[in-house]
């Protein structure tokens, strides 16, 4: 069972209220390690919120270029690992016999925290050579009036955030603003991998004609993942980084930042946004 929250006592101090500090229960977003194994060999460890772990593993393998489709995976299952009692913090993936095993590069850091995913020059080089989808040719157009409504729709779907206030979200939308799937996680990159892993298992890749909205900033890692999934548009409620803008420009992807209230900044391929 997914352990998305943990309740623990806290001392509530409010200098604007009368009375002494009081003890009360508080809900915390769960953060636990997930080890991703390929053919029982450890590949990566990420700090994540438990839940949709198979999607997370599948999305990670796809966005890292280790697999190209769901057909590359024979089985993917949670297993016990070495924990006692079993916490189901290990996903073991068996690839098809014809799929090359992943080659771990010493320049790659496959331990990822909840605040930052895999990054660095090796990642940039890899995505430029491995991305199999031409998002520049995607004819998607989205009305600006539709885009500005999406953050509220994403926020309304964040049930665990309502209890904890400590989770990022990623949502896959249609051009008409329909929320197709939403995932929450302490790591923004994990939330995106969970969405992409779901789409991979559902046979929806490439995600032609869809857009991805993230609740935080638009980093290089998220732009890379969006490109690997064939997404033509990535939007964020906060700022993009320089590498995110450069990568989106190279890919022909539309990158939107500061999507708040009734305004936004369009950093690349603005022709997809209609006013």
- Say how far apart CA 75 and CA 39 lie, in whole Å: 10
Structure tokens at 266: 């369009």
CA dist list (Å): 245 to 13, 65, 136, 212, 232: 42, 21, 14, 15, 13
CA dist list (Å): 258 to 43, 76, 94, 237: 35, 37, 40, 5
Pairing of strands 168-174, 210-214: antiparallel
Catalytic residue (choose from 116, 149, 165, 202)? 116
User: H/E element holding 243?
Assistant: helix 242-251
Residue with tokens 């508080």: 26
Q: Is 79 a catalytic residue?
A: no
| C-beta neighbour count of 78 within 10 angstroms | 17
Measured at the alpha carbon of residue 233, what is the angle toward residues 268 and 53, in degrees to the nearest 5? 135
Please list the active-site residues.
Answer: 116
């Amino acid at each position: 069972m997914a352990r998305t929250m943990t309740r623990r006592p806290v001392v509530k101090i409010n200098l604007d209220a009368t009375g002494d500090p009081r003890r009360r229960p508080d809900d915390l977003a769960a953060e636990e390690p997930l080890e991703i194994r390929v053919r029982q060999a450890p590949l990566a460890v990420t700090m994540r919120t438990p839940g949709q772990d198979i999607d997370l593993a599948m999305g990670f393998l796809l966005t890292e270029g280790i697999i190209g489709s769901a057909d590359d995976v024979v089985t993917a299952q949670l297993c016990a690992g070495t924990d006692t009692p079993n916490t189901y913090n290990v996903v073991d993936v068996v690839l098809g016999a014809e799929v090359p095993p992943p080659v771990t590069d010493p320049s790659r850091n496959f331990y990822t925290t909840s605040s930052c995913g895999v990054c660095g020059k090796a990642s940039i080089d890899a995505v430029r050579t491995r991305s199999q989808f031409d998002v520049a040719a995607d004819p998607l157009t989205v009305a600006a009036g539709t885009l500005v409504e999406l953050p509220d729709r994403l926020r309304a779907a964040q049930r665990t955030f309502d209890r904890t206030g400590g989770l990022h979200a990623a949502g896959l939308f249609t051009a008409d603003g329909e929320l197709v799937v939403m995932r929450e996680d302490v790591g923004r990159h994990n939330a995106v991998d969970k969405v992409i892993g779901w789409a991979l298992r559902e046979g929806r890749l490439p995600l032609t004609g869809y857009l991805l909205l993230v609740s935080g900033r638009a980093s290089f890692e998220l732009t890379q993942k969006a490109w690997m999934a064939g997404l033509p548009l990535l939007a964020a409620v906060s700022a993009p980084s320089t590498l995110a803008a450069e990568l989106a420009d190279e890919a022909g992807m539309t990158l939107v930042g500061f999507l708040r209230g009734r305004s936004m900044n369009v950093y690349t391929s603005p022709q997809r946004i209609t006013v």
